[in-house]
Structure 1
Amino acid sequence: MRAIKNLSPEEIKQLRYLAFQQGSGILQKRSQCILYSYYGLSARELMELFNVDRRSIYNWMDRWEEGGIQALKDKPGRGVKPRLSLECQEQVERIKQAFSLYPNNMHLALKYVNSSLTQPISRDTLRRFVKRLETGKV
């Protein structure tokens, strides 16, 4: 049975703060898991409490032992990468050109945009991107 041992009073204070005061849901879960393990809950009890696999519990413990609180946080760059970017002027110009050529026909504008992309986008993706483009939100 694995368990977290030897937490300093400062670490306990930080984990309690993250677990019960603020933070994202997953960081709260991970912080609570480390605390509960320190207080004596078994991996099986933690699995049931947090509704995760044993491997997840052990990964959280490994991460804690390797890097403390910083290691419990998600690393940047996770998730699906956007296919369109406001920073890519080529894409922005292509989309503006598509809507100037086909102002009232989303289907043809989409076809025009997709002809220059390596991975085609959906109508909804184009619609959301145009909305962001109009409002200037990044």
Structure 2
Amino acid sequence: MIYIEELTAEEVTTLNEMHKNHPRYLSRRRSHAILLSHRRVSVPVICATYNVCRQTVSTWFSKWEEFGICGLIDKPGRGRPSILTENQKNNIVKKVQKSPRSLKSVLADLEAELGITVSLDTIKLICKQAGLVWKRVRKSLRSKRNQKDFEVAQGKIKELIQQHKESEINLCYFDESGFTLEPCVPYAWQLSGQTIEVPSSKSKRLNVLGFVNRDCEFDSFVFEGTVNTSVVVACIDEFAKKIKIPTVLIIDNASTHTSNEFKENIERWKEAGLTIYPIPPYSPELNIIEIIWRKIKYEWLPFSAYESYQSLERELFNVLKNIGGSHKVAFS
């Protein structure tokens, strides 16, 4: 057999789903091989893609022709029986959760406690089967916050969101963020054996003061100098001039938002239709503009932005002016 000739639309859809989502790697690559052959990719190319012999690919094709999708899935019990019992696997998962950064320490514990020697690949497979994934650990301030105050604020903001949806108010969020030539290094798809290198150097800081509402309508002010309370007050004054309906502005507890100078303006803004709502300390997830800053730093700013300070300015201003347009977040 040279090529898989005819596939129905339903078979193509099923094979694509198996290739993307099937839990077993062998079934994923077999379904992909069938799709490649249907697209007139030759057997030698498929062999080279998966580093298998021609006979293996021919067997895949024959199983497909005879049994369909079922021919691409291994029967239960196929392969070498596991040397580990279910209790031992559960014990391994618990050990990994206690030492999530070092699988080698888990291997050492297994050998010392149970006299069992397994490979790192086996430990990784057990982790994946248990739903564990290898991903970046996040910093958190949750342990420092007052949980009761957080829940009260969470409930209040939920009410404000509903009022925003009913067009009774405009619910906005305010915060500041800084950008320099020292990039936040993101994950990226890269060729095996090669690494994308992003330029990094010391530079002046571009401070962005931003306002965003639930519909991702965004306003910003950019400064090179220090951002103090006077700067923050001036920016909110400019923002207040544009409001058309009663507006609630959610802010965090930065020192520029809690100073006497800032507090002296709260009543004046309220008379102009702008109500300030401060969230409790250590509650960044209540301020959705944090999502905008994360998107800019890790996704929207191109690597070329870090070639020079002029490039950073140009690319940052380009991103800022397109937030709500080509750069948009659909807040739930």
- The TM-score with structure 1 as length reference comes to 0.57
Match of 2:6 in 1: 6
Structure with bigger helix share is 1
Distance in 2 of aligned mates of 1:84 and 1:13: 37
Percentage identity across aligned positions? 34
Return the letter of the residue paired with 2:78.
R
Return the letter of the residue paired with 1:9.
A
Q: How do 1:24-103 and structure 2 match up within 5 A?
A: 24-81=24-81
Distance in 2 of aligned mates of 1:52 and 1:69: 20
Return the letter of the residue paired with 1:66.
E
Higher relative contact order (CA 8 A, sep 6+): 1
List per-residue Cα deviations over 1:69-111 (Å, max 9, x = no partner). 111101122223468989xxxxxxxxxxxxxxxxxxxxxxxxx
Aligned length: 90
**Offset at 1:16?**
0.5
The 3-state SS of whatever aligns with 1:27 is: helix
* Superposed structure 1 runs of 4+ greater than 2 Å apart: 79-86
**Structure 2 unpaired stretches of 5+:** 87-114, 118-332
Structure with bigger strand share is 2
Q: Which of 1 and 2 has greater Rg? A: 2
**Offset at 1:50?**
1.1
**Offset at 1:51?**
1.0
Go from structure 1 to structure 2 and tell me whether the alpha carbon gap of 1:9 and 1:79 turns closer, same or farther (over 3 Å shift): same
Distance in 1 of aligned mates of 2:14 and 2:84: 39
State the Cα RMSD in Å.
2.3
Go from structure 1 to structure 2 and tell me whether the alpha carbon gap of 1:22 and 1:124 turns closer, same or farther (over 3 Å shift): closer
Go from structure 1 to structure 2 and tell me whether the alpha carbon gap of 1:62 and 1:48 turns closer, same or farther (over 3 Å shift): same
**Structure 1 unpaired stretches of 5+:** 87-122, 126-138
